[in-house]
Amino acid sequence: MASQSSKAFKDISLSFQPHPVTGDIPVLKNEDAIKRAVRNLIETSAGERPFKDALGTGVRDALFEFIDFPTASVVAQQIFDVLNGFEGRIDNVQVNVEPRPEDNSFEVMISYDIVGDSFPKQNFEFLLETTR
């Protein structure tokens, strides 16, 4: 991926919870804004966004398959592909997915570099689990 020069990234918080003092909707900046975008890409199902059929993953469907290492490998590849294909602000993406059959979930660990200024390497972990 080509190196780009950038200074700052901003996004609004999707919780839409107003700040307790100012009443403003919180703004996510830099690393937090990109982390939110990464999570949104992963949780978007393929074909969910109009006119962008290739954007998204099948990780929601994988939660209803066998929670094992072969399925975790497929989930990891889907995450890697969507991040490399649709998030141009990151580079050197590494994805590790561990199955947690006892919880019917996958533990996802992602690391990446932010393109542009000298941000430290980002590490991001979360659980993919069904919502009931």
Question: Lowest-pLDDT range, 11-15, 47-51, 52-56, 122-126?
Answer: 11-15
Which pLDDT band holds residue 70 (cuts at 50, 70, 90)? very high
Q: Tokens 């990780």 map to which residue?
A: 59
* Residue 79 to residue 32: CA distance in whole angstroms: 18
The CA distance from 27 to 119, in Å, is 19
Task: Please identify, in words, the CATH class of the domain defined by 10-129.
Answer: alpha beta
Q: What is the pLDDT of residues 81-113, one digit of tens each?
A: 999 999 888 999 999 999 999 989 999 999 999
Q: Is residue 100 exposed (0-12), middle (13-18) or buried (19+ Cβ within 10 Å)?
A: middle
What pLDDT was estimated at residue 37?
86
Separation between Cα atoms, residue 103 and residue 119, nearest integer Å: 34
Residue 13, token pair as written in the block: 């918080």
Query: Hey, where are the domains in the chain?
Result: 10-129
Cα distances from 110 to residues 16, 50, 96, in angstroms, run 26, 27, 6
